[in-house]
Structure 1
Amino acid sequence: MEFNFDRQPAYRTEKGAMFCGNSLELMAKMPDNSIDLVMTSPPFALLRKKEYGNEDQHEYVDWLIEFGKMVFKKLKPEGSFVLDLGGAYQKGVPTRSLYQFRVLLRFCDEIGFYLAEEFYWYNPSKLPSPIEWVNKRKIRAKDSVNTVWWFSKTEWPKADVSKVLTEYSERMKKLLKAPDEFYSPAKRPSGHDIGTGFGKDNGGAIPSNLLQISNSESNGTYLSGCKMLGIKGHPARFPAKLPEFFIKMLTEPGDIVVDIFGGSNTTGSVAENLERKWISFDLDINYVAASALRFTASKSDDEIRQIHSNILEKKMVYIEGAKSESN
């Protein structure tokens, strides 16, 4: 994986590299049709400015469209673009913004993406929000679901759902042990023909497009490293299991995974664990330096301090023997 960027990465590992810079400018230097998967969570279109830099709702869709155009050019024909977007309210009133749906329509209508499938990430540990409508006035339920759009360049992107099977339910486990006791092959009222193959053990159940994943990280290399260094972690991290699901389903070992809004580099960390090549970009050198902590599980505190300091001083770091922990 050799790309001719105009700068050294902030740090690299055996499998990938993290760059500090504008991902639009850096991606422009990558060959067209060269990436297998872009997995990212951009700053959301929130009403109040956040420390990690979000755009105003009215400008957000136009802003994100430019990234979509660039991703479309750089993806391989069978590649995918997975975009995690949180919801938002209109300013001053308890009605929802439609920005993530405008993103969906414009990505498909203007850029040429296909919607391979829509997913919904349900975070049961998400705090009640917005406070005004949920906690104070109690006129709205808490917002706990993000939309996750799976875009593709063709109607037939590379995908294998058998790589992300879920555990069978207890009832299904009993059925598999003694299928004759639970059902008989027949045509159901719905029209489905349930044959003897229904009782076959396929190693797990097909997952649904509702992904229930808590985002309640409380320990691990990243946060413990931040605490040791006395720095703040990125305030908008997604859990490792979210990119893990899509990386497993949409890529193979050796494929190239890119995160254009790298943040704390959860995507790169998961890709490293799964033997994928990866590249991440982020504008903020402080977030970039802290993200290196995800690859320092085998390092001493002094080594971690040196890695972090060198990145802040813009000395390219190779994290030799990087051990990635996806927390």
Structure 2
Amino acid sequence: MSNKLYSTDYGKYYLGKCEETIQELKLKEKVQLILTSPPFPLNNKKQYGNLNGEEYLTWFTGLAELFSSVLAPNGSIVIEMGNAWEKNRPVQSLLHLNSLLSFVNNEKAGLRLCQEFICYNPARLPSPAQWVTINRIRAIDSFTHIWWMSNSDYPKADNRRVLRPYSKKMKKLLESGKFNSGKRPSEHVISEKGFLTDNHGSISHNVLELEQIDEDRELRLPYSMFSISNTKSNDFFTKTCKEKGIVPHPARMPLELASFFIEFLTDEGDLVLDPFGGSNTTGFCAEKLKRQWISIEANMDYGKQSIIRFKEPSLNSSIKMGAFEL
């Protein structure tokens, strides 16, 4: 491909519009997971190229058929999308929700919604600033929606790969071997040994906390998210961008979020696709987890800065430049 910016041990990063590049790559039924955070449907256009209004809705809905066509028969699509607000009004827009609904309801795509997730991130800047910090009539928007979709009722998935560490209370219960069994007010009947099997961790929730909501409660990230958090704590990418005077992509997907779904929905060697690659969080996490990956991005500047991720010493990944020399 003439628009390949670079490749690594496991992946390739292309410059161009995702619609055209996906068609050129001939990926039909080869992708196990599409993991992406598309440009948000904002009322004011930003540098990373979002559309707005009905134009956005039409464009986004049309992507469903294209994305579905490249999925493996048991593949998944995971889309992160934040909230949108009406221009100059303290009112949430319905555009992002209508876009997601229209995407999954596109009859030509044959998709279904497997589950909705919420990603809570207290580190997000107070927004929308006008109504939160100036007029002070709204609360901080601190979460994004994540929709997990598939072309199958039973896509590849295993929640045992994204277990959370047991709570202190559960660890004590396993040590004691005793449990208050019997009938609950909910009319569920708990057997004597129903909670005494050590499954090496508890099943993850569909609310993903990047930091704990309750500071007095222990944060129990899934093991996959915890391992990537160790990378984030050192944040080679952000520090290097700062040193070089580079302004990072303004809407980066959290590393923990990407690693969670890659672990949950793929095996080593599977192909992960990000049609809106940006600074390439998806490719970076896929590389660390030994998955094949392809990322596509229309903005050359974001493509250039994404190379920094693969220079992180702990990754030990080789980079080969493509047709575009930097």
Q: CA deviation at 1:219?
A: 4.9
Partner of 2:84: 88
Within 5 A, what are the aligned runs for 1:266-281? 266-281=281-296
Task: Give me the CA root mean square deviation.
Answer: 2.2
How far does the alpha carbon of each residue in 1:219-269 deviate from its partner, in whole angstroms, 9 at most, with x for none? 533223323433222121121100100000000000000000000001000
Partner of 1:25: 20
Partner of 2:97: 101
CA contact (8 A) 2:280 2:306 kept: yes
Amino acid of the residue matched to residue 201 of structure 2?
Answer: G
Q: CA deviation at 1:218?
A: 7.4
TM-score normalized with structure 2 length: 0.86
Partner of 1:262: 277
1:213 aligns with 2:228: no
SS at match of 1:146: strand
Q: CA deviation at 1:187?
A: 2.7
CA contact (8 A) 2:63 2:103 kept: no
Within 5 A, what are the aligned runs for 1:2-41? 6-7=1-2, 9-29=4-24, 30-41=26-37
User: Alignment partner for residue 197 of structure 2, among 195, 200, 216?
Assistant: 200
Identity of aligned residues (%): 41
Counterpart CA distance in 2 for 1:147 and 1:169 is 26
SS at match of 1:249: helix
Q: CA deviation at 1:107?
A: 2.1
Within 5 A, what are the aligned runs for 1:1-327? 6-7=1-2, 9-29=4-24, 30-110=26-106, 111-180=109-178, 183-195=179-191, 196-213=193-210, 219-298=234-313, 314-315=324-325
User: How many residues align structurally?
Assistant: 300
How far does the alpha carbon of each residue in 1:5-33 deviate from its partner, in whole angstroms, 9 at most, with x for none? x4252110110010111111111132321
Counterpart CA distance in 2 for 1:97 and 1:23 is 26
Counterpart CA distance in 2 for 1:241 and 1:177 is 31
Q: CA deviation at 1:108?
A: 2.6
SS at match of 1:147: strand
Deviation larger for 131-140 or 221-230: 221-230
Q: CA deviation at 1:151?
A: 0.6
Counterpart CA distance in 2 for 1:31 and 1:122 is 33
Gaps of 5+ in 2: 212-228
Q: CA deviation at 1:154?
A: 1.1
Counterpart CA distance in 1 for 2:59 and 2:260 is 27
Counterpart CA distance in 1 for 2:156 and 2:37 is 21
TM-score normalized with structure 1 length: 0.86
